[in-house]
Structure 1
């Protein structure tokens, strides 16, 4: 049974404490939701896989293989707001309402302005990461650029590449940690409640702060599932993306206390 903590501040709901194994329950519920609405979940995942294929084709055509890792990492930064349709599908399933791809793709209209603001925040992080990644790559490989055919070996399988991997991985991890704290549950909260983006972000950060280890486990599971999808040249995203998206809705529902009923007014 989760333990509720005191109200944080005006407008910010109470946060529930959860156990370290709760993220696995979220994934199980995400799988249940995917099976309940497979056309929406798999269609959503297929749409993202198709975009990934197009990006790969463009990188191959322009010999920009060095962008694969930054783009893969950047996808994790902006994915929370891109998965709004999956949160909406889980919300509808929980409420016993009908689900469809049309409803999923137009879910952002429920709180258009605030969801858009969150998208802008995550987009700024994405742009910053892409600029930093490009700068780091040039600092280490400007005088010895890898060829397209030997890119993986040049970047990952040489001792000389270890400093590049450590620096790039460290900076990426810092940005990812900050974005995770901001966006762990803020997007589904904006979809579910009439709140602004500041309250949603504050609630998300507080949820991570109150449950550091369970949320660390959840972050690792997200990286594992989405990373597996990316590593299969985006094919795996068809399944892993909807599972994680649906699970994120259940994470929000478990972490954020239900609104307290309003007290009746005296006549």
Structure 2
């Protein structure tokens, strides 16, 4: 397989999925930190670009009067996060092969196995749009036509009479969708980047990896959610470190879970 012109093998069998110890996600996190340190210029520049995009999106939403969507959009980051991290997987892959990582290689990583990565990315975006639609319906159900601005957004969402049922319902609905997305994408995008395989095979392999290693993968999902939550809670600035750390660690999760 070449890095750029890989063709998906539509007939290849599912790769072997390894069974791992329940505490292995901590080792992936350590390996991710090593990669972040080794390629800190690329990693932090990539993370900073995500922060800049996040703030541009917030400002655009504020200008369009759609700021009430900020909370579901933040929650939806768990759905599109694997797609946002594709350049970080490429950086870890290059480090593993002894190649020089670069920001150019990171931002053009989708060119490897482009069709299948694009198909999978389209699926993630569809799930993200589904979540946004659900969030809009829930907001309308609990808050009606109320349209908060930056000054009263926190008060409307967290201290009004409808806040608790809205947050509980939204968390439950979002959690179910987020874990379903995690199950299909835990190793799928790194696998599509690394092998000449197709999106269906990558999804099936990811589901098998989660099902075979349910306890460590639940822990891994919690670690991802916690680190991402910290990044979002710091007005997105923490994502500059959290996203590269989780992205690099996810590469090592894939390499350990999926055998040759």
TM-score of the pair, normalised by structure 1: 0.90
For 2:175, the equivalent position in structure 1 comes to 173
Deviations 1:140-180 (A, max 9, x none): 10055545422212221345321111111111111111100
Whole-Å separation in 1 of the counterparts to 2:252 and 2:94: 12
The answer to whether the Cα contact below 8 Å between 1:85 and 1:103 also exists between their aligned partners in 2 is yes
The answer to whether the Cα contact below 8 Å between 1:81 and 1:115 also exists between their aligned partners in 2 is no
Q: 2:85 aligns with which of 83, 86, 92?
A: 83
Q: Tell me the CA shift for residue 205 of structure 1.
A: 0.3
Q: 1:43 aligns with which of 42, 45, 58?
A: 45
Q: 1:14 aligns with which of 13, 16, 20?
A: 16
Q: 1:136 aligns with which of 116, 127, 138?
A: 138
Q: How does 1:1-267 map to 2 (within 5 A)?
A: 11-142=13-144, 145-146=147-148, 148-257=150-259, 259=260
Deviations 1:108-163 (A, max 9, x none): 11110000000011010011111110011001100555454222122213453211
Number of positions where the alignment pairs a residue of Structure 1 with one of Structure 2: 250
The answer to whether the Cα contact below 8 Å between 2:65 and 2:147 also exists between their aligned partners in 1 is no
Q: What CA RMSD, in Å, does the superposition of the two structures yield over aligned residues?
A: 1.5
User: Structure 2: which 5+ runs fail to align?
Assistant: 1-10
Residues 1:252 and 1:11: Cα distance change in structure 2 (over 3 Å): same
The answer to whether the Cα contact below 8 Å between 1:15 and 1:206 also exists between their aligned partners in 2 is yes
Q: Tell me the CA shift for residue 237 of structure 1.
A: 0.7
Whole-Å separation in 1 of the counterparts to 2:125 and 2:82: 11
For 1:3, the equivalent position in structure 2 comes to none
For 2:7, the equivalent position in structure 1 comes to none
Whole-Å separation in 2 of the counterparts to 1:233 and 1:64: 18
Whole-Å separation in 2 of the counterparts to 1:66 and 1:145: 6
State the structure with more CA Rg: 1
Whole-Å separation in 2 of the counterparts to 1:135 and 1:109: 36
User: Structure 1: which 5+ runs fail to align?
Assistant: 1-8, 260-267
